[in-house]
Amino acid sequence: MGSPAQRQAVGDRIIHQSQFTILIRMENPVLILGAKGLGLVALDIFQRNNVIVYGLLDDDTTLHNTEIGEYTIMGSTDDDGFLKLIGKKCEAFVAVEERAVRRDLVEMLNDRRHVMPVNAIHDTAVISSFAEIGHGNLIAARAVVNAKATVGNLSLIQTGAVIEHGATVGDYANIGAGSIVGSGASIDDDAFIGSGVTIIAGVKIGKGASVGAGSVVVEDVPAKGRVFGNPAKKV
């Protein structure tokens, strides 16, 4: 079944493609790091996929020992009493929207537990069997990842977003709700695509670039560039 670092929640079969592995049914419970907005989305996804949730951790101490439904927010994300279970008795998912914090938590899991987070993929998402999905991604309700598309690691593919065939999404990227990444387009690491954006086929969005909500992007955006509008222009 592969190591814990390779286990990804999606359905009921295993696909091996280059360095990517999509595993559909997790054997172990999952511990969610982050108990706010994204944590609730992840909790819902795991519940819908019949994955047992061990509990949630969050660094907001006012949330500790409170409950979300039947699930307890048990402590902080650096609590060794819970972290020592990851990779042995449970998996982990990092559910924090702030990219820098998410990156720090993933590095902690790599360093202290030698694992990568699992994916959280909604049961209504459509993932082509010819797509490649990395680790630790959240792919929300009704999102589509089409044939020969690639999603790297730790990215957020929000509700109803579409990654068309042959498109590439890097690591730690955000694809906003209802956005369309056209065929053959590429979204580099750390890029932020707002809600309702259309990226025309073949366009390249550079590392750390930002595209404002509702924009139509018809030409390449350089690294750390900021664009908005229809057609999208530098801001």
CATH number, residue 112: 3.40.50.20
Domain boundary among 118, 142, 177: 118
Task: Report whether pLDDT(6) > 70.
Answer: no
Q: Of 118, 137, 153, which residue sits at a domain end?
A: 118
Instruction: Tell me the CB-side half-sphere exposure of residue 202, using CA atoms within 13 A.
Output: 2
The question of whether 165 is a catalytic residue gets the answer yes
The pLDDT, as a whole number, for residue 25 is 52
Residue 199, domain extent = 124-234
Give residue 166's pLDDT band: very low, low, confident or very high (50, 70, 90). very high
Query: Are 147 and 80 found together in one domain?
Result: no
Q: Are residues 128 and 114 in the same domain?
A: no
CATH of the domain at 168: 2.160.10.10
Q: What is the pLDDT of residue 202?
A: 98
Q: How many domains does the chain have?
A: 2
Whether 135 and 94 map to the same domain: the answer is: no
Mean of pLDDT values over 62-90? 94
Q: Do residues 141 and 163 share a domain?
A: yes
Same domain, yes or no, for 108 and 167?
Answer: no
Give mean pLDDT, residues 113-135.
96
Q: Are residues 179 and 213 in the same domain?
A: yes
The mean pLDDT value of the chain amounts to: 90
Same domain, residue pair 79 and 155 = no
Shared domain for 129 and 114, answered yes or no, is no
The pTM of the full predicted model, rounded to 2 decimals, is 0.89
- Section 127-142 average pLDDT: 97
Query: Does residue 214 share a domain with residue 149?
Result: yes
Last residue of a domain, one of 118, 147, 168: 118
Q: Is the model's pLDDT at 132 over the cut of 90? A: yes
Per residue in 169-228, pLDDT (tens digit) is: 999 999 999 999 999 999 999 999 999 999 999 999 999 999 999 999 999 999 999 999
Higher pLDDT, 109 or 14: 109
pLDDT range class, residue 12, cuts 50, 70, 90: very low
Q: Please tell me the distance from the alpha carbon of residue 34 to that of residue 98, in angstroms, as a whole number.
A: 11
Task: Examine the domain organization and report whether 80 and 161 are in the same domain.
Answer: no
